[in-house]
Structure 1
């Protein structure tokens, strides 16, 4: 399940779309701004050995909506500011946006026109549909790669679970606790395999000294190794209730695997070091809720965000149960303060990493 065709956010610009339910992701992108600006400064610096007359910037997992251009826009503006400050001719810039083929590229392409406004620097744009667990660009062609809220998505669910029919989230609490270490280890190994491949591929596509700035949701280092990231756990719990209530089939619930893993920063650091293509310029670990007004965390908003992210996967596996899913989700937090209590009780971190090609 959860093939390349279904791993996309809700399309369009309606009230259930990702475009209208991605404010939390926007906050995270703003956290990446100083690291992207620092990477651009390094690439444009007179002390650099590259002194590029052209720069190619790629956003991997751009999705759609207002956030699709945020990271590349930060980079383009940083290039413009640097050239103004040091009275240097700006390089020609090529901006490439990537996501899986079923992403809403129609909306993305329409928004690309904003990057063409003005002639300083000259910006040309394009889209590159495909998985970032495959080669996307020619060798040595990229200067900067960015990715936000995408790399926690795996290429597939762990085969050791799917082939042996080990449920990712057992409906029985006792059985679930017994299986959790096995399940978590399987997801961790799949993430290691996928992220190692991601690093190898990007190292081939980046120029010598090229930069990469990425962010993804993770978990705290002091958490038990049997705990998943909050969204994964919350989704499974909601679907579990729907199964108990007879809304969805037990067999389908047992065969539902979300291809998602949130690593700790030590886990991420070890994989990067062992793969060897990049050095870590900076790594940040922060609470994404620190910049969010708690008054804005309301059940309807959180339920809509869950729908925008997970609806394609849910519908592909269970059929059209989204009305029931939304009702169950909002019922989960029907008591005043229940959502705030759950969010507070599930520590979530975002990992932001700036890498330099070795």
Structure 2
């Protein structure tokens, strides 16, 4: 097997039942409502329209609550200005579901007048808007996904935080390049005086961890490794495929988010750093679903639903489908995988709890 190979499907496509199981994403956005409103109050009117753009919007309610605060502030400040919302995501996003929510009773069209809704289809690692066209840009729980799916020799782990040696170095370099590319593109698209607000899962220094940092969701990804290894032992998953499988994501520390900006002359000239920080989630930071822990069945259902919503497409494309060469179908392997995952959370509960730290990056375009 080659050292690594690139997959054609993006790792976030075909997420399953995302809206119903996106409470963690929605909590990240809701916790920043006041900050977004404050940024919107600082943005000057730089043209006839005021444009809000949400990168990696997804198909669910989170895309509505991400843009509503800025829209409400802009409407109050600029009574006659047309407002534009551009939802940006990949072709595999469930656009019908999103626009059903946008124009539904809880969508922003129901309470804010003179709003035009647009979509920009593609990867946010490419151009998504015209030069100097965006007043306020948001990106929630999305920038941790890397630009492409990568296969690395990673026996013993399915995620970045436990990688060692060359595999870790290669993944770290890809994450750094992607972050710098993301920022350079947004620098072109933002108007002078506009803001970029990024919030996603982060990591904090922790000397007890293998690579010196505790990453959000470490329990979840280690639970996925336990399940995958059990299926490999039972001959249901190809062990060689598992050894080369890793989720294509990276949850940065504050230093990993800051240093590429401070070390690049173009980015330093493009942006004023307002905030770069990693903080514990405001609610249940050590176990996001702790409120359900007294009922093991509900607790396991919550974890299984949440994980399946964001991970199913990646697991199927890179792990289960390549292993489905015998009598077991891809769907059958997926059903067995989630059955075992459910049993793991039902019996071992908080051993694999979802710890959550928020990385927040606020940049002002110079």
Q: Give the superposition deviation at 1:212.
A: 0.7
- Distance 1:3-1:234 versus aligned 2 partners, 3 A rule: farther
Alpha-carbon distance change, 18 to 347 in structure 1, aligned in 2, over 3 angstroms: closer
1:10 paired residue number: 15
Unaligned runs of 5+ in 1: 12-16, 45-49
- Distance in 2 between residues matched to 1:18 and 1:205, nearest whole Å: 28
SS in 1 for 2:248: coil
Q: Which residue of 1 aligns with 2:314?
A: 313
Residue 115 in structure 1 maps to residue 108 in structure 2: yes
2:3 corresponds in structure 1 to none
Measure, in 1, the Cα distance between the counterparts of 2:334 and 2:175: 29
Divergent runs of 4+, >6 A? none
> In the alignment, which of 50, 54, 77 is matched to residue 49 of structure 2?
54
Match for residue 325 of structure 2? Answer: none
Secondary structure (helix, strand or coil) at the match of 2:20 reads: coil
Give CA-to-partner distance per residue, 1:77-106, whole Å, 9 cap, x none: 22234x2xxxx5342111000111111011
CA contact (8 A) 2:11 2:248 kept: no
Distance in 1 (CA, whole Å) between partners of 2:258 and 2:279 is: 16
Question: Which residue of 1 is the match for residue 290 of structure 2?
Answer: 294
1:349 is aligned, of 344, 349, 357, to: 357
Q: Distance in 1 between matches of 2:132 and 2:232?
A: 50
User: For the Cα contact (< 8 Å) 1:157–1:187, is it kept in 2?
Assistant: no
Is the 1:56–1:96 Cα contact (8 Å) retained in structure 2? yes
Deviations 1:149-176 (A, max 9, x none): 0010001245xxx4xxx422437xxxx9
What are the ranges of 5 or more consecutive residues in structure 2 without an aligned counterpart?
1-5, 294-298, 322-329
Change (3 A) 1:169 1:38: farther
Whether the 8 Å CA contact 1:203–1:357 is kept in 2: the answer is yes
1:106: which partner in 2? 96
Are residues 1:278 and 2:290 paired? Answer: no
SS for the counterpart of 1:56 is strand
TM-score by length of 1: 0.83
Q: CA distance change for structure 1 residues 117 and 24 in 2, over 3 Å: closer, same or farther?
A: same
Pair 1:38-2:38 in alignment? yes
Task: From 344, 357, 366, give the equivalent of 1:332.
Answer: 344
Secondary structure of 1:20 counterpart? helix
In structure 2, the residue matched to 1:132 is: 124
Shift of 1:293: 6.2
What does the per-residue CA deviation read over 1:265-303, in whole Å, with 9 as the maximum and x for residues that have no partner?
Answer: 111111232232222212342222635562235122111
The answer to whether the Cα contact below 8 Å between 2:257 and 2:276 also exists between their aligned partners in 1 is no
Contact (CA 8 Å) 1:9, 1:308: kept in 2 or not?
A: no
Residue 207 of structure 2 is aligned to residue 217 of structure 1: no
Query: Structure 1 residues 140, 309: CA separation in 2 closer, same or farther (over 3 Å shift)?
Result: same
* Corresponding residue for residue 80 of structure 1: 75
Residue equivalent to 1:156: 148
CA contact (8 A) 1:221 1:266 kept: no
State the distance in 2 between where 1:51 and 1:156 align: 35
Aligned residues: 328
* TM-superposed deviation, 1:5: 4.4
After TM superposition, list the pairs within 5 Å mapping 1:193-272 onto structure 2. Answer: 193-223=177-207, 224=209, 225=211, 229=216, 230=218, 231-272=220-261
Given that 2:222 and 2:352 are in contact with CA atoms closer than 8 Å, whether structure 1 keeps it comes out as: no
Looking at structure 2, the residues matched to 293 and 226 of structure 1 have their Cα atoms a distance apart, in angstroms, of 26
3-state SS, counterpart of residue 133 of structure 1 = coil
Task: Indicate if the aligned counterparts of 1:167 and 1:256 stay in contact, CA closer than 8 A.
Answer: yes
- SS across alignment from 1:69: helix
Tell me the SS of whatever aligns to 1:96: strand
SS for the counterpart of 2:361 is strand
The residue number in structure 1 matching 2:296 is: none
- Distance, in Å, in 2 between the alignment partners of 1:2 and 1:226 is 29
Question: What is the deviation of 1:207?
Answer: 0.7
Secondary structure of 2:273's partner? strand
Using the alignment, how far apart are the partners of 1:57 and 1:349 within structure 2? 26
